Amino acid sequence: MARKVTYYPGCSLEGTALDYAASIAGVAPLLDLELAELEDWNCCGASSAHSVNQYLALALPARNLVLAEKAGQDLVVPCALCFNRLKVAEKALKGDAGARLGVSFQGAIKVWDLLDYLTQDEFLETLAGKVVKPLKDLVAVGYYGCLAARPPAVTDKKDYENPQNLERLLTALGASPRDWSFKTNCCGAGLALARPDIIDTLVQRLYDQALAAGATCLVVSCQMCQANLDLSQERISRKFGRDYYLPVFYFTELIGLALGHPQARDWLKGHLVDPRPLLDQKGLW
Amino acid sequence: MTQNFPPEPSLSARLAAASLAVSRCFQCRKCSGGCPLTFAMDLLPDQVIRLAFLGQEEQVLGCRAIWVCSSCETCTTRCPNGIDIAGVIDWLKEEAGKQGKTASQPLVAAFHHYFLESIRKAGGRLPEARMLRRYGLFKLWRQPDLGELAGNLKLGLRLFKKGRLRLAGPEPLKNRAEIDEIFKQAEFKWQGK
């Protein structure tokens, strides 16, 4: 029997991360998972709300939590930033914020980030059993970014400095994950529009460290990280006189590829750093 | 003749009242050690905390550091005294906005307002393409950079061709009145100029 959860896509999965959304929708049925989109959900306010208006920073995600609790199932969130803001609101509502905001939330549902949810033992077992095209020779680093992990008082994560889910997943899919020290370092996505110069420094550091670890690609679970690492690669290469080539995969895209999902290649067409040459070379296209 | 002024709660006391006590800091500088953004900061995170504790309001509200902080939460995670450093920085940003002191990084401060105003106008969800366009024009006006403009236009076109930039939507929520009410309760004031 299919497991059913409530799904909060977040704004970018309706826009710049349509490819992430498509890969999630494609992969869920392979795991016998039904994602029921939260009805009438709103933007969580992202980093802008908590930067300039603390009330908005709680009230916007709180509305979604109240809706989700009414829907009844646990809430699964693909975006690290949305996940973080929903968790902040959850903690606040379990305290005294409910009265202040005039909302009632009992805390009967759990808020998950998608990567954590899909890398629970039973899903990993199912996945490993369904691999038809092992991602052999795909040497990758898992890049978790910031906010799915930190701060642990908000996210309830245990391995927030050195998470291992992506590595476990990549191994189950037949790929070769490499260890590196920058898996939860910030890529600065929130500053991408206002201060792209800062992004260039932060992201170049990640490229260099990924290459130093021997990786040929990065695997992410956050669409802000994906956009930041994928969209700025050409600019950063030009700026620093380098020729970076590091495709940035969503973990769900790699699940689809390894499990032989018929649309998996279409999802990858949205990337600006074309992963085809790499996959071709590994015989995976 | 002497004149009595009502006591002004110091910055540190106002932070403590917001559950953001900075008095526990013993200056181990672990926050600054782990911060990935220090290269772009004028004050380091530990200095922001120290100056806030000392009530140096002008300095901490006017610094660049609070705006180039990317809210990655490394400092908050690692502080041995449990100080929510990223939370303090958020509080300082909001306070700087209230006092109109965003001149150190006006483009970053305005970005947050463009983001939130876009959500409000669209009735609950972020219209990415519209926000990018509006903020892009604002930034071009404040800081003309034809190279960046050309790069952004090219990037926008490529994203559009790849289907990653939707010009229409999102539709307003069914209950957009709830969003309007939240923005009203928040006393959100548009400061995107």
Given a cut of 70, is residue B185 above it in pLDDT?
yes
Q: What is the pLDDT of residue B10?
A: 87
Contact across the interface for B108 and A270, Cβ inside 8 Å: no
Instruction: Dig out the tokens for A101 from the structure.
Output: 């905001």
Instruction: Report the predicted TM-score, pTM, of the whole model to 2 decimal places.
Output: 0.96
Closest chain B C-alpha to A168 CA, distance in angstroms: 24
Q: What is the pLDDT of residue B168?
A: 87
Contact across the interface for B185 and A55, Cβ inside 8 Å: yes
pLDDT, tens digit, for every residue of A87-114? 999 999 999 999 999 999 999 999 999 9
- Alpha-carbon distance of A199 to A205, in angstroms, equals 10
Closest CA to B45 of B17, B86, B2: B86
Given a cut of 90, is residue B4 above it in pLDDT?
no
DSSP-derived letter for residue A273 is S
Q: What is the pLDDT of residue B117?
A: 97
Burial B135-146 (b: 16+ CB within 10 A, else e): bbebbeeeeeee
A198 vs B contacts (CB less than 8 Å)? 37, 40, 68, 70
Given a cut of 90, is residue B3 above it in pLDDT?
no
Question: Hey, is A4 helix, strand or coil?
Answer: strand
Q: Which helix (H) or strand (E) holds B118?
A: helix B106-122
By the CB < 8 Å criterion, does B179 face chain A? yes
Q: What is the pLDDT of residue A175?
A: 98
- Alpha-carbon distance of B44 to B83, in angstroms, equals 15
A 153-212 residues with CB below 8 A of B?
A: 154, 160-161, 185-186, 188-191, 193-196, 198, 201-202, 205
pLDDT, tens digit, for every residue of A212-239? 999 999 999 999 999 999 999 999 999 9
Q: What is the pLDDT of residue B149?
A: 92
Higher pLDDT, A79 or B165: A79
Instruction: Dig out the tokens for B31 from the structure.
Output: 């926050």
For chain A, percent of residues with pLDDT exceeding 70 = 100
By the CB < 8 Å criterion, does A42 face chain B? yes
Banded model confidence at residue A50, pLDDT cuts 50, 70, 90: very high
Mean pLDDT of chain A: 96
Given a cut of 80, is residue B90 above it in pLDDT?
yes
Q: What is the pLDDT of residue B106?
A: 95
Q: Which helix (H) or strand (E) holds A113?
A: strand A111-113
Mutate to test the interface with A, among B20, B88, B112 (most CBs of A within 10 A): B112
Over residues B73-90, mean pLDDT: 98
Over residues B87-107, mean pLDDT: 96
Residue of B nearest to A198 (CA): B40
Q: What is the pLDDT of residue B167?
A: 87
Question: Hey, is A218 helix, strand or coil?
Answer: strand
pLDDT, tens digit, for every residue of A119-178? 999 999 999 999 999 999 999 999 999 999 999 999 999 999 999 999 999 999 999 999
Q: What is the pLDDT of residue B8?
A: 59
Given a cut of 90, is residue B193 above it in pLDDT?
no
Q: What is the pLDDT of residue A269?
A: 95
What ipTM, to 2 d.p.?
A: 0.95
Over residues A22-47, mean pLDDT: 97
pLDDT, tens digit, for every residue of B133-181? 999 999 999 999 999 999 999 999 999 999 898 888 899 999 999 999 9
Residue of A nearest to B111 (CA): A194
Contact across the interface for A150 and B119, Cβ inside 8 Å: no
Closest chain A C-alpha to B173 CA, distance in angstroms: 6
B 5-44 residues with CB below 8 A of A?
A: 36-37, 39-40
Q: What is the pLDDT of residue B166?
A: 87
| Dihedral angle computed from the Cα positions of residues B171, A57, B118 and B37, in that order, rounded to the nearest 10 degrees | -130
Closest chain B C-alpha to A53 CA, distance in angstroms: 6
By the CB < 8 Å criterion, does A146 face chain B? yes
DSSP-derived letter for residue A43 is -
Over residues B4-24, mean pLDDT: 85
Mean pLDDT of chain B: 94
- Alpha-carbon distance of B105 to A52, in angstroms, equals 13
DSSP symbols for A73-89? S-EEES-HHHHHHHHHH
Beta carbons within 10 angstroms of residue B170's beta carbon: 19
Question: Hey, is A248 helix, strand or coil?
Answer: strand
Q: What is the pLDDT of residue B182?
A: 98
